[in-house]
Chains A and B, each alone.
Chain A
Amino acid sequence: MGKCAECRFFCNDPAWLEKNFPGLNVLSSAYASVRADAGVCRLRGLFLPPWKTCPDFERAGAGGR
């Protein structure tokens, strides 16, 4: 089963995270080691590590939903 890191719904770009989590860069940073590569599943609205899996995986670059 594909991992979140390769799923088209998973977003962990630091600039995107800082823009979409207001206040995150006041006392932290999406460029910090502590975040590792965690990001948001836009399908489920969850904050997840990149190695998670789920049956709704769609490889990035696959057709639209």
Chain B
Amino acid sequence: MQGGVNLPEPNSRGDLSPAAAPKQSSGGWKELYLKEDWWAIYLGIFIVIVSVIAFFNGSTVIKSLSVNPGGLKWATFGQLAAHFSQNLNLYLLQLIAWLVLFGVSTAVMGIKPVKFIPSFIFLYILSVIMFAVGGWVNAQKFNLEPPLVALIVGLIIANVVPLPAWLTEGFRVEYYIKTGIVLLGATFPITLVASAGPVALLQATIVSVCTCLTIMYVATRFFGLDRRFAAVLGMGGSVCGVSASMAAASAVGAKKEHLYASVTLVVVWALVMILALPFVARALHLPAGVAGAWIGTSEFADAAGFAAATSYGHMVGNENAAIQAFTLMKVIGRDMWIGIWSFIFALIACLKWEKEECGVRPNAMEIWWRFPKFVIGFFVASIFMTAITAGFPAAEFKKVVQPNLIAPISALRTWTFIFCFLSIGLTTRFRELKATGWKPFGAFTIGVAVNVVLGFLLSTIAFQSFWSKLGR
């Protein structure tokens, strides 16, 4: 091997035409407008600032624009129809607002508006239906949790109905959840982040390290898999799913087939967890904060985890605690550290696995380049709103600030979450996922088992008293 690149034999298949492969450089300042993390920050903070301005000016425009039928408790279709009839102008204005915000930003990132717009309109209509389902007076009786319904409806449509490819451009799972997380920051006191963050980081690190080492050991020693492949599986199963797999693959120079396999394994297991974890938590009567923490270490991706945590929180009537615990564990405890994990693996690959031929050494700037920038937006929103609302006495906060400032931002966040949950289902086309083979499946699954059990023990025993106090 020479020059820092592990050199398997050239691939004689595939498109090696003389034309250059399509490229995009998002380095330096370009990142600020080519990466969705930054756009999530811009959109989220923009919504928060406009909401604050509207609130202090006594305007209800944001409150009106955050309309949704989720809280209606409708019993007849007539009631539902009346709601839409009375608020049609608000729904249309809201759709236009979302189209402008997401449409302009995705166009700048390179997604064609002519494809994004019809796709997003389709997504919005489905989202309204999902909210309406959640607003049915008997929804909870039949376990019709909107995130789970959205996921299942999306899966059915994606795998049964032949959606044209151009209609999928609006299904931006990660962009919607990142925007939602920035908005979540606005309703998340920074004092809670400061007090609970270290505990979340400790628990998440214990579980992540144990899971990653388990997967890598089993993959290489039991199943004889390549150590680069083991690293991709390890980071995917322990840190942050597909995003971490991508980071690991790049860090160690893995084969693209390794990334294919990891993507498939993460997607399949994440879907299983979204459906299983809330119902298992309910069967065990876990407090919302404890379940949220457990989901935070068990789920692989923010989008999937928020679906599970939101569902469970809604089931037990304490969505706040479940979402707070999940956010602390996953966003603060795991997501933020992807860059460091990647850099460590890059160093190991360079200094140990390819010791004599490393060539170009990894740059510590990788830690920043790979840092999930949307987390900055979460912190900014949290600090900003904590400061803005600090001067209100508790009674006034509850009577005035909560319903007129916090609740509308939460409602808009819920919209972005529903866009995300529907998009998870709508983008999961099982027949297109690449096969993995039983050895990677075995290694990953053993890691999942360790992850789930260890996370459960830490959440329900070691740190139970801590997590169960959240949201009270």
B230-254 CB mask vs A (1 if < 8 Å, else 0) is: 0000000000111110110111011
Interface residues of A (CB under 8 A from B): 1, 4-5, 8-16, 21-29, 31-56, 60-61, 63-65
Interface band, chain B: 35 or more
- Smallest Cβ-Cβ distance to A38: which chain B residue: B250
Q: Does B109 contact A (CB under 8 A)?
A: yes
User: Is A23 touching B263 in the complex (CB atoms < 8 A)?
Assistant: yes
Q: Which of B60-68, B88-96, B318-326, B359-367 contacts A (4 or more CB under 8 A)?
A: B359-367
Please give, as numbers and ranges, the residues of chain A lying within 8 Å of B247 by CB-CB distance.
Answer: 34-35, 38
B256-290 CB mask vs A (1 if < 8 Å, else 0) is: 11111001101100100000000000000000000
Q: Does B143 contact A (CB under 8 A)?
A: no
29 A/B residue pairs, CB under 8 Å, sorted by A: A5-B23, A11-B23, A13-B22, A16-B22, A22-B432, A22-B434, A26-B263, A27-B241, A27-B243, A27-B300, A29-B173, A29-B174, A32-B35, A32-B243, A33-B38, A33-B371, A34-B240, A34-B246, A34-B371, A37-B25, A38-B249, A38-B250, A42-B11, A45-B11, A46-B255, A48-B250, A49-B250, A54-B3, A63-B18
Please give, as numbers and ranges, the residues of chain A lying within 8 Å of B14 by CB-CB distance.
Answer: 42, 45
User: Is A45 touching B270 in the complex (CB atoms < 8 A)?
Assistant: no
Please give, as numbers and ranges, the residues of chain A lying within 8 Å of B267 by CB-CB distance.
Answer: 23, 26-27
Please give, as numbers and ranges, the residues of chain B lying within 8 Å of A15 by CB-CB distance.
Answer: 22, 110-111
User: Is B366 touching A49 in the complex (CB atoms < 8 A)?
Assistant: yes
User: Is A47 touching B18 in the complex (CB atoms < 8 A)?
Assistant: no
Interface residues of B (CB under 8 A from A): 2-8, 10-11, 14-27, 31, 34-38, 109-111, 171-175, 240-244, 246-247, 249-251, 253-260, 263-264, 266-267, 270, 300-301, 303-304, 338, 359-360, 363, 366, 369-374, 424, 427-429, 432-434
User: Is A21 touching B263 in the complex (CB atoms < 8 A)?
Assistant: yes
User: Is B172 touching A65 in the complex (CB atoms < 8 A)?
Assistant: no
